């Protein structure tokens, strides 16, 4: 089962349908309708933190949940969710040197983690004006875009997050495969095929 935390963003259910289409069993909770301890006690195979408005500190249980999930539960953060992971691990969310909205960019990566089986390089559409600066993360399997780190990973344990991954990037051919990467690595920790169970809310 994947727990999807809804940070009050309409894209949450796009993520829900992507993951469900990969065979994951998905449950959705708004960020202020469940306690972090309750989520951890459910022992999900992965936690996905959705996009949303404002800042990580305004994102309900997200920062507490990231801390309590620690090295035990894989996390995927998209947009605000990614920023929350970066902040929880010591990074600062700052304005990017250049705003990028609807720009097609070439993404380089090392083929590990959720990038396993993804073409390198590949092109993705970027929509962002913020970056996570100097997060305490390891560089292995990181994706690079210019000088800015676009994927975060814990020093120990399962992956902590994917690039700030703005939702429109999923329209690109590699987007579905990157989403499948969290299902392979996070939800099914042996990189097996998705199980085929139906999503639920």
Domain spans, the chain: 2-187
β-sheet bridge partners, residue 77: 49
- Write out the CATH class of domain 2-187: alpha beta
Percent of the chain predicted with pLDDT > 70:
66
Assign 53 a pLDDT band (cuts: 50, 70, 90).
very high
Burial 139-173 (b: 16+ CB within 10 A, else e): eebbbbbeeebbbbbbeeebbbbbbbbbbebbebe
A 10 A CB-CB count for 4 gives 25
CB atoms closer than 10 angstroms to residue 191: 11
Phi, psi of 94 (to 5 degrees): -130, 165
What are 5-14's pLDDT values in tens digits? 999 999 999 9
CA atoms within 13 A on the CB side of 145: 25
Q: What is the pLDDT of residues 147-175, one digit of tens each?
A: 444 555 554 555 444 433 444 444 444 54
């Amino acid at each position: 089962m994947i727990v999807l935390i809804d940070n009050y963003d309409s894209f949450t259910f796009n993520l829900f349908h992507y993951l469900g289409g990969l065979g994951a069993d998905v449950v959705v909770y708004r960020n202020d309708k469940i306690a972090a301890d309750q989520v951890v006690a459910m022992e999900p195979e992965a936690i996905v933190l959705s996009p949303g408005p404002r800042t990580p500190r305004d994102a309900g249980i997200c920062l507490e949940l990231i801390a309590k999930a620690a090295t035990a539960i894989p996390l995927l953060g998209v947009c605000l969710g990614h920023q929350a992971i970066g902040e929880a691990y010591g990074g600062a969310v700052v304005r990017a040197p250049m705003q990028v909205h609807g720009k097609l960019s070439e993404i380089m990566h090392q083929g590990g983690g959720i990038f396993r089986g993804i073409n390198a390089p590949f092109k993705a559409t970027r929509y962002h004006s913020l970056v996570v600066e100097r997060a305490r993360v390891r560089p292995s399997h990181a994706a690079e875009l210019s000088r800015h780190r676009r994927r975060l990973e814990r020093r120990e344990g399962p992956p902590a997050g994917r690039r700030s991954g703005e939702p429109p990037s999923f329209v690109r051919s590699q987007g579905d495969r990157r989403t499948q990467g969290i299902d392979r690595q996070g939800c099914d920790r042996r990189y097996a095929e998705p199980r085929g169970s139906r999503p639920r809310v």
